[in-house]
Structure 1
Amino acid sequence: MEIITLPVTAFTQNCRIIICKQTRQAAVIDPGGDAEKIIAELAKHSVSVQCILLTHGHLDHVGAAKILAEHFSVDIVGPQQDELFWFDALPMQAQMFGFAPITPFYPHHWLNDGDIFPVGELRFEVRHCPGHTPGHIVFYEAKHQLAIVGDVIFKGSVGRTDFPKGDAQQLLASIKQKILTLPDETKILSGHGPDTKVVTERISNPFISGKYG
C-alpha cells in the first residue's frame, strides 16, 4: 500500500490517496477541497482512480468530492446513511465555514458497519463510529494495520461533539469499541494533524483516560 497525504483548504484537512501497489488502483479519501491540487498530485502517479471514499459529511472533508467524481467518472462511496442531513445542509455548511457556495450532492453508495470495501487487493473494513457525527465511519485495513479515522480521534485528542447530532458519550464509546480494540501497532490516520498509533492513544490520550471530558 502507498499512502499520499495532501493537506487541503484552510482547515489543513488530511486528504489521503490510497494506492494498491499490485494493481495501481487508487481511492481518494476525504477530499475536503482544492480539487485541482488533488488532481495534479494524482497525475504524478501511474494510478487508476476507482472511487471517492468519505468518512463523514462535514464540508472540510467532502468539498471536492463531486468535482473529483465527475473528473474521474467514479462513484462517491460512504459514509453511513445517518449522515444524510449533513449532505442536505452543504449550502449552510459553506456559509458557516467560509467556503465558496456549494449545492447539495450525495454519495452514490452508503456504507454500513462490517462492510468490506476493496481497492485493488486492499480490503477496507467499515466501522461505524458515531459521535462526532451520526453516520461517521472508519476504514480499517487489517493486513497493513491501518485505520483512516476522519475526525473520530486525533493524536492526543478526540473529535468535536458540539455540532448538530454530536454526542460525546457516543463518541467515546465508538473509540473504545471500534478503534482501541484494534491491534496495538495499528496506525491511526486522522483527518487533521499527525498520525498516531492505537497503543499510544490508549495509554496517553487524556480524553480517553478520563483526565478531560
Structure 2
Amino acid sequence: MTTSPLQIAVIPVTPLQQNCSLIWCTKTMRGAFVDPGGDLPTLRAAIAKTGVTIEKILITHGHIDHCGEAGVLADELGVPIEGPHEADRFWIARLDEDGRNYGIRGVPFEPTRWLVEGDEVTVGALTLAVRHCPGHTPGHVIFHHAPARIAMVGDVLFQGSIGRTDFPLGNHQDLIASIVTKLWPLGDDTVFIPGHGDPSDFGTERRHNMFVSDAALAA
C-alpha cells in the first residue's frame, strides 16, 4: 500500500469549531498548521502525537476563528506565517477587538509573507498552489495540493453551503466567481477541507450545492 505524500489531521478549534488542519510531508515529517485559530494546548498535543516538526503556519483569511492565536503560536514555535493575501490586513489588525466581541483570544500579527494568486508554498518536500479567492473576505486564499487532489478552502465553500458575505468587505458576487473560476477548474474529484463541517469534493458540490451547483447557477 502506497502512503500518500501528504497527510492531514483536522482539529476543530475555538468555540466556532473551525477546522484547523495539521498537514505534513510523509517523506520528511515536516509540517504546517493551516488556520490555527486557537486552543493551542490541543494543537501542541497534535504535534506530540504525530511527531511532526512544524516549519510554518499557513492562513487562509483574517477572521478570528482562523488566525486569532496564529501569531502567538508562530512566536512560540519560531516559525514563519504565510498568508493570507494582504487585502485581509483589515481583519488581522482588528483581531483583538473581535476577540473581545467573540470571547476568543485574538492577537494581531504581521505575516512573514503575504500571498497572491499563483504563489506556491512548500511544506517539507511538498508544494501547494495558492489561489486568491475573495468574497468571504477580500484577501482569502486557498491551498491546493494537486498530486493528492486535496484543497484547503477555508470559508469559501462548505458541504452544501458557501461562505457568508455579510461581514465587512464581503462580496457575494466575488465569492461565486471565486468558486466557479478558481475551485471548479481544480477538478470534480478534488476533495476539499472547509473551515467548518465535513469535507466534500467539488463534483458533489457542483451537483448538489443549492448555492453554486451547475443547475443553480444556470437558473
Task: Give me the whole-angstrom Cα distance separating, in 1, the residues matched to 2:28 and 2:140.
Answer: 28
The match for 2:3 is none
Task: Give me the whole-angstrom Cα distance separating, in 1, the residues matched to 2:187 and 2:111.
Answer: 31
Of residues 11, 14, 19, the one that matches 1:6 is: 11
Partners of 1:180 and 1:198 within 8 A in 2 = yes
The match for 1:109 is 113
Structure 1 residue runs of 4+, over 4 Å off? none
Q: Is residue 71 of structure 2 the alignment partner of residue 66 of structure 1?
A: yes
Alignment of 1:115-134 (within 5 A): 115-134=119-138
- Work out the percentage of aligned pairs sharing the same amino acid: 46
- Give a deviation string over 1:3-60, Cα, whole Å, max 9, x none: 1111111101000000100011100000111011101110112221110000000000
Alignment of 1:1-213 (within 5 A): 1-100=6-105, 102-209=106-213, 210=216
Number of aligned residue pairs: 210
Instruction: State the Cα RMSD in Å.
Output: 1.1
- Alpha-carbon offset, residue 116 of structure 1: 1.1
Letter in 2 for 1:204: H
> TM-score when scaled to structure 2?
0.93
- Alpha-carbon offset, residue 91 of structure 1: 1.9
Which structure 1 residue ranges, 5 or more long, are not aligned?
none
Provide the secondary structure at the position in 2 that maps to 1:139.
Answer: strand
Partners of 2:14 and 2:104 within 8 A in 1 = no
- Alpha-carbon offset, residue 105 of structure 1: 1.5
- Alpha-carbon offset, residue 2 of structure 1: 1.0
- Alpha-carbon offset, residue 76 of structure 1: 1.0
- Alpha-carbon offset, residue 64 of structure 1: 2.1
- Alpha-carbon offset, residue 63 of structure 1: 1.7
- Give a deviation string over 1:171-190, Cα, whole Å, max 9, x none: 00000000011111100100
- Alpha-carbon offset, residue 126 of structure 1: 0.2
- Alpha-carbon offset, residue 145 of structure 1: 0.5
- Alpha-carbon offset, residue 106 of structure 1: 1.8
> TM-score when scaled to structure 1?
0.95
Provide the secondary structure at the position in 1 that maps to 2:178.
Answer: helix
Provide the secondary structure at the position in 1 that maps to 2:127.
Answer: strand
